[in-house]
Amino acid sequence: MGHSEMLLAVAGMKPDDVKAKAKRLSTGDWSSFPPAERAAYGLAYKLSREPHRIAEADRAVWIAAFGATRTADLVWYSCWCNYMTRIADAFQLPLEKENVFTPAPKK
C-alpha cells in the first residue's frame, strides 16, 4: 500500500474513497480539488521536482492559503517525505502491502 493511501485511510477515509482520491491525484490534474488542496499539492510537487524554481509568487500563494506557520509546516513535512522516499529508494525498501495502522481484529 502506498504511504499516501495509508495516510488517507488512517485519517478515516473508506477504502473505496481512498482509491478514488489516489486515482484523481495521480492524474496530475488537480483542478477539481478545493483551492487550498491544490496549493498544498503544488507545494509538495514543486519541492519534490523543482525546488530551485520556487519563487516569491509561490510562497505568496502558499502563505495566503495556509499562513506562514502552516506553510513552514508543509515545507518541512514535504521535505521530510522526500528524504524518507530517497532513503527507501536507495536501500530498495518495499512499501507495505497493507495498512500497518489498521487495528488487529478483536478475538
pLDDT in tens, 38-78: 999 999 999 999 999 999 999 999 999 999 999 999 999 99
**What's residue 55's pLDDT?**
96
> Apex CA 50: angle with CA 79 and CA 94, to 5°?
50
**What's residue 96's pLDDT?**
76
What residue ranges do the domains of the chain occupy? Answer: 1-30, 33-95
Q: Is the pLDDT of residue 1 over 70?
A: no
Q: Assess contact for 96 and 1: CB atoms under 8 A.
A: yes
Q: Is the pLDDT of residue 100 over 80?
A: no
Q: Is the pLDDT of residue 15 over 90?
A: no
**What's residue 69's pLDDT?**
98
pTM above 0.85, yes or no: no
Average pLDDT score over the chain: 89
Contacts of 60-68 with CB under 8 Å at 24 or more apart are 65/35, 65/36, 65/39, 65/40, 66/36, 66/39, 66/40
> Mean pLDDT across the stretch 90-96?
86
Could you tell me which of 34, 40, 33 has the C-alpha nearest to residue 70?
40
Q: Assess contact for 39 and 62: CB atoms under 8 A.
A: yes
